[in-house]
Amino acid sequence: MALIVQKYGGSSVADAEKIKNVARRIAQAKDKGDQVVVVVSAMGDTTDKLIELAGQVSNQPSDRELDLLLSTGEIVACTLLAMALKALGYEAISLSGAQAGIRTDAVYSRARIQKVDPERVISELDKGNIVIVAGFQGITDEMDITTLGRGGSDTTAVALAASLGAEACQIYTDVEGVYTADPHLASEAQRLPEIGYDEMLELATYGAKVVHPRAVELGELFNIPILVASSFTNNPGTLIHGGASMEVRNKVRGVAYDLDVAKITVVGVPDRPGIAASIFEPLAKANISIDTIVQNASINNITDLSFTVAKSQLDRAMEVVKPIARSIGARECVSDARLGKVSIIGTGMQNTPGFAAKMFGTLSERGINIQLITTSEIRITCIIDEARVKDAVHALHRAFELEIEE
Ligand code: ASP
Ligand code: MG
């Protein structure tokens, strides 16, 4: 008898019929004789609706209240799912994140799981129950309810799988798995039967929405294979694991994109020690996440410094940076909110020349101007005009022959 953890996303439980469909799928897993723990997200766009509602009663809802409010979305879904399973004649129990022993730090709206106390889940499994856990939430030492950040139910699932020593973690969603590019944008994209943790982490961090990067990170840390598949079909999906073959013929595995990019450039910055710290420390204090940072070679001890932030954080970032730019004697501070990024990813790129040249050449053939470039060992990212991102994804997909099945 194996123990498996399944996770169902919001679109898989968006209405009563879909909840009943998910209950039937869980019942099938149970019928195989396995112990089953299920993590569920809030129904459909419940979380967005709750955030909107909070915004209607307050300009600045308190983080603590907001987290408690948002946690109700997952609780609704998990109770209904337990009821649907009981209606099918199965023993099931729903547990909030707190009841399931998900312990977090006290950073509201993006709490991190510090440990999982799995005793309650284990005792319910031992009684023969299917255990349905509300995703995306946990409890602090002070008994306050926290949430893990948008999309956090994936992380709940992998954390539970790790703490229970589960054989597998299966993430069910509304797409057929992980693709070589976003299948909604590029119909030529191919499903990847398997992918390594590192590649998946880069894909997820650089725009692929199919699984949360923190969940992939945890999977790698605890060596939990993660299956990503559709809750609406019985197709095989994509297995994320450590043994995925590195030397695949086509060395780029996927193209990711992200339209949420804004750039700030501080022009004419004096080049001396402490300047970067004087700009980025206050940004960190203001809780603004910086993505790419590029500093030019200086001429006559004057340089330009560019960095990117999420579009929603641009105004706040400019408010922080403008006075600093003035105080350090920079010439000006300019921004561009209409950017996006496109990345190629694959472990096969490591130590192999030519990928960057081919990427830049492909973009230039399409007349796409590259504003900033960043790389890791297995990724190359170009920041470009947001209006050209879709075109870039298609062109790169073709250039690296990703439409050809492996
Ligand atoms: N319901 C939360 C969200 O929409 C968490 C999740 O779906 O994983 O972000
Ligand atoms: Mg969701």
What CATH number is associated with residue 322?
A: 3.30.2130.10
- Could you tell me if residue 215 is inside a domain? no
Output the CA 39–ligand 1 centroid distance in Å.
11
Domain total of the chain: 2
Torsion over CA: 155, 47, 73, 44 (sign): negative
Output the CA 204–ligand 2 centroid distance in Å.
15
Residue 378 and residue 183: Cα distance in Å, rounded?
22
Domain boundary among the residues 174, 190, 221 is at 174
Q: State the amino acid at position 18 in one-letter form.
A: K
Q: What is the pLDDT of residue 140?
A: 98
Q: Which atom of ligand 1 is nearest to the CA of 74?
A: 1
Whether residue 308 sits in one domain with residue 164:
no
Whether residue 276 sits in one domain with residue 168:
no
Output the CA 216–ligand 2 centroid distance in Å.
17
Q: Which domain holds residue 351?
A: 255-399
Whether residue 142 sits in one domain with residue 31:
yes
Does the beta carbon of 97 sit less than 6 angstroms from any atom of ligand 1? no
355-361 contacts at long range (C-beta below 8 A, 24 or more positions apart): 355/251, 355/252, 355/380, 356/380, 358/399, 358/400, 359/396, 359/399
Q: What is the mean pLDDT of each run of 10 residues along the chain (406 residues)?
A: 95 97 96 96 98 96 96 98 98 98 95 97 97 98 97 97 96 94 92 94 91 95 96 94 68 93 95 89 91 87 93 94 92 95 91 90 97 92 96 96 79
Whether residue 168 sits in one domain with residue 282:
no
Domain boundary among the residues 155, 174, 193 is at 174
Q: What is the pLDDT of residue 92?
A: 98
Q: What is the pTM of this model?
A: 0.90
Whether residue 263 sits in one domain with residue 166:
no
Does the beta carbon of 10 sit less than 6 angstroms from any atom of ligand 1? yes
Whether residue 275 sits in one domain with residue 157:
no
Residue 386: C-alpha distances to residues 35, 254, 265, 335 (Å):
47, 19, 17, 14
Whether residue 160 sits in one domain with residue 16:
yes
What per-residue string of b and e applies to 187-219 under the rule 16 or more CB within 10 Å gives b?
A: eebbbbebbbbbbbbbbbbbbbebbbbbbbbbb
- Could you tell me if residue 327 is inside a domain? yes
Does the beta carbon of 8 sit less than 6 angstroms from any atom of ligand 1? no
Whether residue 261 sits in one domain with residue 166:
no
- Could you tell me if residue 241 is inside a domain? no
Which residues share a beta bridge with 131? 37, 93
- Could you tell me if residue 124 is inside a domain? yes
Does the beta carbon of 135 sit less than 6 angstroms from any atom of ligand 1? yes
Judging by DSSP bridges, how do beta strands 137-139 and 372-376 pair with one another?
A: unpaired
Residue keyed to tokens 């230039």: 364
Whether residue 141 sits in one domain with residue 49:
yes
Asked if 348 contacts 380 with a C-beta cutoff of 8 angstroms, the reply is no
- Could you tell me if residue 72 is inside a domain? yes
Q: Where does residue 272 rank: exposed (0-12), middle (13-18), buried (19+ CB within 10 A)?
A: exposed
Residue 348 and residue 378: Cα distance in Å, rounded?
7
Domain boundary among the residues 159, 174, 189 is at 174
- Could you tell me if residue 40 is inside a domain? yes
Residue keyed to tokens 């398997």: 194
Q: Which atom of ligand 1 is nearest to the CA of 156?
A: 8
What CATH number is associated with residue 79?
A: 3.40.1160.10
